Amino acid sequence: MKVAFLVAPLGVEQVELTRPWQAVADAGGTAQLVSTAAGKVQAFHHLDRADSFPVDLTVGQASAAQFDGLVLPGGVANPDALRLDAKAVALVKSFFSEGKPVAAICHAPWILIEADVVRGRTLTSWPSLKTDIRNAGGTWVDERVSICTAGPNTLITSRKPGDLEAFDAAVVKEFAT
């Protein structure tokens, strides 16, 4: 299993990147960090700077065809920056058009909304996105993990870092098939 993790250069919630990454690695998979710029991405623990991580590919170098699935970590700044980048939005859309699984946690559904892929889907997120998801045609649920198969691909979503155990298990199970 080869999984892309899409992250903006500044603002990803570290645990929402590192825990699913480790779950993929523990399952024998390969994770690659994709970003809107080359170099490193800066992670945060809430509002405090945490570690930085090297970028493997830029969005211009990556394609859905290279991967078995896509993980979108949260944090507030990360998905907010990604949804403003046309190439990042196009990359997310391509995973849906190719029928590949996508997983998003916390505020990451913002980029799904921007990519116009939540209509008719059921998903969860950080509670403040509930209205955004509903306005985009999705159904919001308050669950640790939501696995929606009502579309061209499986969409896995979770609310927050406290849900990572369920999120990671769903990602590994779905992405390995």
pLDDT digits (tens, 9 = 90+) for 105-129: 999 999 999 999 999 999 999 999 9
Catalytic residue among 45, 46, 106, 148: 106
**C-alpha distances in Å from residue 102, one per residue of 11, 50, 77, 141, 156:** 20, 25, 20, 17, 6
φ and ψ at 11, to 5 degrees?
115, 5
Half-sphere exposure of 98 (CA within 13 A, CB side): 17
Is 106 marked active-site? Answer: yes
Q: Give residue 60's pLDDT.
A: 97
Structural Rg of the chain based on CA atoms: 14
pLDDT interval class at 177 (50, 70, 90)? confident
148 is catalytic: no
CB 107 within 8 A of CB 78: yes
- Contact (CB, 8 A) for 70 and 129: no
Task: State pLDDT tens for residues 48-89.
Answer: 999 999 999 999 999 999 999 999 999 999 999 999 999 999
Query: Per the confidence metrics, is the pTM higher than 0.95?
Result: yes
End-to-end CA distance of the chain: give it in Å, rounded: 9
Domain ranges of the chain: 2-175
Cα separation, 77 vs 10, in Å, equals: 7
Q: What is the pLDDT of residues 140-170, one digit of tens each?
A: 999 999 999 999 999 999 999 999 999 999 9
Give pLDDT tens digits for 8-56.
999 999 999 999 999 999 999 999 999 999 999 999 999 999 999 999 9
Looking at domain 2-175, its CATH superfamily turns out to be: Class I glutamine amidotransferase (GATase) domain (3.40.50.880)
Burial of 166 (0-12, 13-18, 19+ CB in 10 A): middle
Q: Kindly name the residue from 45, 46, 107, 148 that is annotated as catalytic.
A: 107
